[in-house]
Amino acid sequence: MPEPWTTERPKVLVIADDQGAGELITRLLDRAGWTTDLAYSAASGLSELEDAHYSAIVLALASTAHSIDVLRSIRETPATADLRVAVCGHSRSEQGEAWITGADAYLVHPFGSDELVTEVEAVVGRPDDERDDHRQRQVGLSIPDAPDAPDE
C-alpha cells in the first residue's frame, strides 16, 4: 500500500481470460482500496502495460502454463521486468515453475478473498532487496529436490 500521507491509490492490472473471474478479482481488490484495470486476454494485458503504471499485476489465466508464459514475457521486457506479479494457478505442480520464472506470489485456486488481498499487499510491500530471497525460499518449498530447498 502507498505511504499514509499520499492520496494515490495503488493500481493493479488484472489479466484474466475468464470474464467472471476477472471481474470478481477486480471487485475484491477495489473493495480493499486498490484501483484496478482489467484485461480480458494476455495480449491486451501486455499492451496495457505499455501505457500505464501499475503497482502489481495479477495473472489469472485459465491455463497456469499460459500465465507462466505471460510472466516470462513480462520478465524479459526491460520496461516491465521489475513489476510485481501474482500468479493465480490451478495446479500446485506448476507452482515451482512460476516461482523460477519470477512470480512474486502464487495463489492456488480456490483461494479466499482475504488470501488474495493479503498476497497482493505482500507483493507490493515486499522490499526490492527481499524479492529474490523470497522467491528462492518458495522454489525450495515447492520443489523439494531443488538445490536451495530448506532442510527438514
Tell me the residue length of the chain: 152
Is 150 within a domain?
A: no
Domain holding 138: CATH number?
3.40.50.2300
Half-sphere exposure of 97 (CA within 13 A, CB side): 16
Q: Decide if 83 contacts 49 (C-beta within 8 A).
A: yes
What domain range includes position 68?
11-142
Q: Give the residue from 55, 59, 49, 52 showing the smallest Cα distance to 11.
A: 55
Domains contained in the chain, number? 1
pLDDT in tens, the chain (152 residues): 555 555 567 899 999 999 999 999 999 999 999 999 999 999 999 999 987 789 999 999 988 889 999 999 999 999 999 999 999 988 777 888 888 899 999 999 889 999 999 999 999 988 888 887 777 777 766 665 545 444 43
Q: Is residue 130 part of a domain?
A: yes
Residue 83 lies in a domain: yes
Would you say residue 29 lies in a domain? yes
User: d(Cα 27, Cα 38) in Å, to the nearest integer?
Assistant: 10
In a domain, 131, yes or no: yes
From residue 120, how far is each of 14, 33, 43, 88, 93 by CA, in Å?
11, 12, 22, 11, 22
Residue with cell 529436490: 145
13 CB-contact burial (10 Å; exposed 0-12 / middle 13-18 / buried 19+): buried
Query: Is 5 inside any structural domain?
Result: no
